[in-house]
Amino acid sequence: MEQTEGSEGLRTGKRKEDLISKYYEEDEDDEGIVLDVVIEEAGYEAGDIRISGISFQVRKGELLGLIGPNGAGKSTTIKTLLGLLKHAKARVKLGGENQSYAYVPEQPVFYEDLTLWEHLDLAAAAYGLSYETFESTAEKLLVQFGMTNVRNDLPAGFSKGMKQKMMLMLGFLVQPDVYIVDEPFIGLDPRATKDFLRLLEAERERGAGVLMSTHVLDTAERICDNFVLISGGRIAAEGTLEAIRVEAGLPEGSLFDCFDELT
């Protein structure tokens, strides 16, 4: 079975080589942390350091926005925490022994010879969902994303936005404790964006934590609780919008203005 574009799609959170360790020894300060990331440094080649000193935590129900200009190191940060970079000094922990995560990549990744429904079935099997749970959740997602009429089609023939919707559906299907989402908005039409945000909100209410990288700053400003602003492979500012405004010296500034000032 051929998979398109590299090896980073359809991640199940159960691969042995993952950097993410499954057990988090909680003490009082750690309560509610579902993802704890400490990256000392990471790069694509030995000696080629692209990011350094990037640490952050995501708590239950929190949406943390990873923002920064092109080439700042957002995707490298995400690839590092997923264990995809060989040259990384990093430690990544989920919040508990039985916690799971789902990664939604920026570039859709799919199997050429599996239909949309078969992709959903495969992801459900990888996460050990019962057939009943899979069927009812998958049916709901098809309706929510307006994809019912293409359920038995091959994704190779999908538009860019439809492929993106499939990736999001695969993430939502398994209801993980942590979502790691790399730029979800590009390619989605306004209706799909709204559907995605509504589902994300419901998942946060369920207690899922979300790390989301994006360039869509007006949306990020509206929906994220906290931000990590990366510039030149390092953290340029972090915290709430208020904290970022203080850092940028723009007490009334939009996230875009602060971003502009700080990068």
Ligand X SMILES: Nc1ncnc2c1ncn2[C@@H]1O[C@H](COP(=O)(O)OP(=O)(O)OP(=O)(O)O)[C@@H](O)[C@H]1O
User: Which positions lie near ligand X, rule CB under 6 A?
Assistant: 44, 50, 68, 70-76
The phi, psi pair for 80, rounded to 5°, reads: -65, -45
* Identity of the residue, 8 or 225, whose beta carbon is nearer to ligand X in the bound complex: 8
* Identity of the residue, 72 or 208, whose beta carbon is nearer to ligand X in the bound complex: 72
* Identity of the residue, 70 or 130, whose beta carbon is nearer to ligand X in the bound complex: 70
Q: Please, what is the angle between helix 255-262 and helix 241-248, to 10°?
A: 40
* Identity of the residue, 74 or 204, whose beta carbon is nearer to ligand X in the bound complex: 74
Tell me the C-alpha distance between 52 and 65, whole Å.
Answer: 18
Shortest distance in whole angstroms from residue 108 CB to ligand X:
15
Side by side, which strands form the sheet with 87-94?
20-21, 87-94, 33-43, 51-59
Shortest distance in whole angstroms from residue 73 CB to ligand X:
4
Shortest distance in whole angstroms from residue 47 CB to ligand X:
12
Shortest distance in whole angstroms from residue 202 CB to ligand X:
28
* Identity of the residue, 40 or 153, whose beta carbon is nearer to ligand X in the bound complex: 40
**H or E stretch covering 137:** helix 131-144
Shortest distance in whole angstroms from residue 256 CB to ligand X:
15
Shortest distance in whole angstroms from residue 48 CB to ligand X:
7
Strand 209-213, strand 51-59: pairing: unpaired
Look at residues 20, 3, 167, 10 and name the one whose alpha carbon lies nearest to residue 80. 20
Token pair 């993952």 in the structure block, residue: 18
* Identity of the residue, 173 or 255, whose beta carbon is nearer to ligand X in the bound complex: 255
Look at residues 78, 148, 89 and name the one whose alpha carbon lies nearest to residue 116. 148
Q: Please, what is the angle between helix 160-173 and helix 131-144, to 10°?
A: 140
The CA–CA distances, whole Å, from 34 to 66, 157, 263 equal 16, 37, 29
* Residue pair 146/70 in contact by the 8 Å Cβ criterion: no
Shortest distance in whole angstroms from residue 221 CB to ligand X:
17
* Identity of the residue, 4 or 133, whose beta carbon is nearer to ligand X in the bound complex: 4
